[in-house]
A and B are shown apart, each in its own frame.
Chain A
């Protein structure tokens, strides 16, 4: 399968713990996006990378969130000191230039 992959698919954690998610984009895509989707809502933009550079971050991305894309390949999204309000589906997408974005299956986070 050469699509966007995300790991893990599901994560249950206790409040206050740190979690890290991984996204592997389509291999030739230089642009990578993270979105967050809560129940009954559409996905909301979190951050964007072009190659290894993080070029935009949403105000939704508090100081507890950090994203990286070393070497312009896979990306990680870390949430420190998780809160119940962080429970959501975290979606990753990639694209080539300004073409349409292709989404991964998402990581569902539940904070208890």
Chain B
């Protein structure tokens, strides 16, 4: 079945760029019906949407993070990536990638999640 796996450094220095990759296995990434997204969860806090990408290259970002976020994709490697620049301690969180599916009603929801990767911002 479809699986997603996050990878990247667990420690990032303040003011530097956080870079993570999500690898998709067990299914296609080039699907017109799906988006691929990044989410995060600071310790003890709620989930937060970061942004999504479609295999066509279309991207949508959380307005609160848009100035610092870039999401890109490599369909040949079945991967999509997150870059978050100018990080601070407030960016410390578990980062998840997920597939966004759509129903016949036109709604969107996250139906497959990666296990998550912990990123700490500290000097």
Q: Do A and B come from one complex?
A: no
Which A residues form the contact surface with B (CB < 8 A)? none
Q: Hey, which bits of chain B sit against chain A, CB under 8 A? A: none
